[in-house]
Amino acid sequence: MVRFQVVLIFFLCYVAAPPPAATGSSTNKLVDKICNQTSNYTFCVQALYSDPRTPTADAYGLAFVSFGLAYLNATATQDHIAQLLNDTTTAANHKRRLKLCQHDYSKAVSALEEAYDDLNSETFFQLAKLAGHAAAAADDCQSAFKGTHFSPLATMNYSLKALSNICVIVSKLFTAGIL
């Protein structure tokens, strides 16, 4: 019986312990430095460490990680918007607002694609501006739902904005002439 309890406690501790990536005890100093400058440190650390390259990434690697995350987030939201627009139970009034968001997110996706091309060609000067465009698109979409209690994209809008802001900070590592 005692033995069973010991095993059980061991098992519970092991299972309850979050994986290192999610604890915020980061192993990459640059991640700390970047996330420290964002409005949500926890979000930033969790997002960046969701990529296996992050622990050993330099600034250039982290730029690929952060722009990649923002891009995936924006395209996933685009798909979600397309589904809502296609849903016959979505009210016409909401569809009108969703169409604005669809336009916003396509602008965000283009900006992030351009940023990705820039990164591939090691062209850094307009990265921060492009990331800013993606963040602005998230804001713009959210404002389309102002005054309604319908905000199907609120979490996604938060994600894209937060991820874009990480991109802005990473971009500034290049243009500040630190590297």
Q: Which is nearer to ligand NAG, 9 or 82 (CB)?
A: 82
36 binds ligand NAG (CB under 6 A): yes
The nearest distance, CB 43 to ligand NAG, in angstroms, is: 3
164 binds ligand NAG (CB under 6 A): no
Per-residue binding string, ligand NAG, 107-146, x by CB under 6 A, is --------------------------------x--x----
Per-residue binding string, ligand NAG, 55-84, x by CB under 6 A, is ------------------x--xx----xx-
Residue 69 makes CB contacts below 8 A (sequence gap 6+) with 47, 48, 50, 51, 163, 166
DSSP assignment of 75-139 equals: HHHHHHHHHHHH-TTS-HHHHHHHHHHHHHHHHHHHHHHHHHHHHHTT--TTHHHHHHHHHHHHH
Q: Please report where in the chains the tokens 């979505």 appear, as a residue.
A: 90
Residue 118 makes CB contacts below 8 A (sequence gap 6+) with 124, 126, 127, 130
Q: What is the size of the binding site for ligand NAG (CB under 6 A)? A: 22
Contact residues for ligand NAG, defined by CB under 6 A: 32-33, 36, 40, 42-43, 46-47, 73, 76-77, 82-83, 86, 139, 142, 154, 156-159, 161
